[in-house]
A and B are shown apart, each in its own frame.
Chain A
Amino acid sequence: MYAYDHYDQAMVDARVAEFRDQCERRLAGKLTEDQFKPLRLMNGLYLQLHAYMLRVAIPYGTLNAPQMRALADIAEKYDRGYGHFTTRQNIQYNWIKLEDAPDILADLAKVEMHAIQTSGNCIRNISSDHFAGAAADEVADPRPYAELLRQWSSFHPEFSYLPRKFKICVIASESDRAAMRLHDIGIRIVERDGALGAQFYVGGGMGRTPMIAPLIRDFVPLDQLVTYSEACLRVYNRYGRRDNKYKARIKILVHELGAEEYTRQVEEEFAHLLDQGVEPPLAELERIKGYFADPAFDAADVEPDRSDPDFAVWLDHNTHAHKIPGYVSAIVSLKPVGGIPGDATAEQMRVLAELAQEYSFDELRVMHTQNVVLPHVAKADLQAVWQRLNEAGMGTPNADLMGDIIACPGLDYCSLANARSIPIAQRISERFAANGKEAALGELKLKISGCINACGHHHTGHIGILGVDRKGTENYQLLLGGSEAEDTSLAKITGPGFDEHGIVDAVETAADVYLREREHGERFLDTYRRIGMAPFKEALYG
């Protein structure tokens, strides 16, 4: 894992001191809220429905046991004993006091964490594959590239006041487990004739105008990665729509110019930048790679004992192939039946820290599905890990099943919301636990957002739900056919919305259409793509 050098540490420490001073001035009345708001947002501090909310960055979703313990301590000491893991692989605390914020940032800095660039119109925390460094199908560990880009983009003066927020994702396998093409820049590390390079997808996003990023360059040599990224950003920074917040994301620019014209401008800028010395020396990338070297994998390849049927079910759903035969990556479910998706208590975080230390070379990952991964678990240890997870309420065997619902905070916490998301997730999870259909349905990704901003990824749910405000009451639109994976697609609205009870029935109706219509081996998404919307509409609206 990456470890701060003295530059990183000095930057983060200086930021804590600066923010402490800003908070003191705000509390003393020397700064108005109008003056203070952009400053607190630069440090991840929002004002939400019930209190201040702090978003902490987890770079490319990777953290170690001491960091997870620090997150647990913060939940307990400064919040109400829990945190919420988000679809951007970060964590949010919902009950933060302004007077505590500097101390929290200081505690984070002690474990090489911060909340910098988790808000505002800058390059946000870079996301990645949660199985990075472990996946059997990756051509390389994508995290050194993400880390290089993190260093380049941190406090980058030219990109601190972009037209709008900017999200980058780096993956390194054909399978896309990070919604790569729904980012402002999606980078896939690929191998060509023995050399590694990067594919650049630019102009994806969700929000009110969802778009799938087009491929604009098929192969960027790795010693030009930063330069090419800079060219992409420069064209956007120059021509992005600053006049209209809703048209300010790069996806609108790429769409309005057309991918071809945008690419032409990027290439022109790139050619100009190539001899400007933008790129860090390759030695820096090599230095970073050193931090991500494989741990000492030495476990024998023994198949786990499947005699306990509950354990066997968990193995089938919640483990993922590892590049080393004796290991797997284990998915820790933060989606117990009827629970709040993505919430973890301080005690649960401590259990995860312990398990990471004991069984996963001190590493954890946050998934965009709001679960956690123990990336390197020896097969021989799986049963012990599963037992501990179960005891702590994190052993639900539902990865990628109906119960594994993504839900944004919605109206229970978020000041931008139209409707609640979490209770809908809870009712659906309970319904499908009770009707016993979850196993039969197989892979089915359900995603809920409480408003059009799409933090809950509803556009890319096999089934998506969007909360809307209908004359002051909560109403829910149903969408079908989205995917955030390598077969990326955007979901379509079925028709008129439903009330909070009706939407749960509607999901079951859609699931039943699939169970009736599916052909051998088809997932919900495959059946939908084959038969189209009509049979679903017929069942839903008659």
Chain B
Amino acid sequence: MILVTGNDLKTGAVTWWTGHGWSTAIEDAVDVGQAGDAIIAAEEAARRVNVPYLIEAEHGPDGAPRPAHIKERMRALGPTVRPDLTLKPNDVDAIRNVV
């Protein structure tokens, strides 16, 4: 699957395209198929996101999208060395799923 991601313009937070808006949770991301470039153009123009781009992902074991590249998995969670600052501070497996 193809996801659209970028950073929130104001906060810099990592965001994912949900089909009708942006979410910081990759679980909300949808496969955009061929529509990626059009979404990027529209969303960047609307200043809802900064430097959006397309990435490849697959369906993870829990059904949520799992980016193909470790860098994107890292972005989706947060720094592995500070579990307390990740999006899932209480999920002991979250970091193992990144690396």
Contact = CB atoms under 8 A, between A and B. Distances in A.
Given A51-B12, A98-B9, A412 B51 contact: no
B79 interface: yes
Contacts of B74: 49, 411-412
Contacts of A33: 44, 50-51
Contact of B80 (A415, A420, A473): A420
Contacts of A49: 14, 71, 74-75, 79
A50 B79 contact: yes
B71 A415 contact: yes
A412 B50 CA distance: 21
B81 A474 contact: no
A26 B8 CA distance: 13
A413 B14 CA distance: 12
B10 A27 contact: yes
Interface string A83-126: 00000000000111111000000000000000000000000000
A413 B51 CA distance: 18
A472 B79 contact: no
Contact of B11 (A26, A51, A423): A51
Contacts, number: 71
Interface string B1-42: 000000101111110000000000000000000000000000
Nearest to B95: A423
B54 interface: no
B contact patch SS: loop
B99 A413 contact: no
A348 interface: no
Nearest to A101: B12
B75 A50 contact: yes
A417 interface: yes
B81 A422 contact: yes
Secondary structure dominating the interface of A: mixed
B80 A412 contact: yes
A183 B24 CA distance: 40
Interface string B56-99: 00000000000011110011001111100100000000000001
A47 B69 contact: no
The size bracket of the interface on B is: 20 to 34
Given A29-B47, A51-B7, A472-B70, A412 B14 contact: no
A128 interface: no
A95 B9 CA distance: 13
Contacts of A417: 71
Contacts of B79: 49-50, 94, 412-413
B13 A51 contact: yes
A28 to B, nearest CB: 8
Contacts of B9: 26-27, 98
A513 B50 CA distance: 51
B10 A97 contact: yes
A426 interface: yes
B78 A50 contact: yes
A21 B61 CA distance: 47
A340 interface: yes
Given A27-B9, A52-B12, A472 B51 contact: no
Interface in A400-447: 411-413, 415, 417, 420, 422-423, 426
Interface of A: 26-27, 29, 33, 47, 49-52, 80, 94-99, 340, 411-413, 415, 417, 420, 422-423, 426, 472-474, 500
Which 6 A-B pairs give the minimum distances between C-beta atoms? A51-B12, A412-B79, A52-B12, A97-B11, A422-B81, A29-B47
Given A49-B79, A50-B78, 11 more contacts: A33-B50, A33-B51, A49-B74, A52-B7, A97-B11, A98-B10, A98-B11, A420-B80, A426-B81, A472-B70, A500-B99
9 contacts: A27-B47, A33-B44, A47-B50, A49-B74, A50-B75, A96-B12, A98-B9, A340-B82, A412-B82
